[in-house]
């Protein structure tokens, strides 16, 4: 959830998150922005629409 809502500082003792770097925070911002764009418009900015038969359209974050 911290990547989606940018709430990294709310989980200071998380063994999974450790101490998030600026790069990880930027990744969270990118992810949250893409999700918000998809919810609002049905598209995530420069991402191609989802097509299950076309694996080349899978977007990997990170």
Spell out the residues 6+ positions from residue 59 whose beta carbon is closer than 8 angstroms to its own: 44, 47
The Cα 38–Cα 31 span in angstroms is 11
Q: How confident is the model at residue 58 (pLDDT cuts 50, 70, 90)?
A: low
The pLDDT value given to residue 45: 67
Q: How many CB atoms lie within 10 A of CB 27?
A: 15
Task: Quote the domain boundaries for residue 6.
Answer: 2-57
**How many structural domains are present in the chain?**
1
With 80 as the cut, is the pLDDT of residue 3 above it?
no
pTM of the model: 0.58
Q: Is residue 37 part of a domain?
A: yes
- Residue pair 46/21 in contact (Cβ under 8 Å)? The answer is no
Q: Which alpha helices (H) appear in the chain, and where do they start and end?
A: 2-5, 22-41
62 domain residue, yes or no: no
Residues 34-46 pLDDT 10s: 888 888 887 776 7
Angular region, 45: left φ>0, alpha ψ -120 to 50, beta rest:
left
Is residue 41 a part of any domain in this protein?
yes
């Amino acid at each position: 959830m911290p990547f989606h809502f940018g709430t990294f500082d709310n989980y200071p003792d998380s063994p999974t998150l450790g101490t998030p770097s600026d790069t990880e925070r930027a990744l969270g911002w990118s992810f949250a922005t893409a999700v918000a764009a998809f919810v609002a418009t049905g598209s995530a900015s420069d991402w191609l629409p989802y097509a299950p038969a076309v694996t080349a359209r899978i977007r990997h974050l990170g």
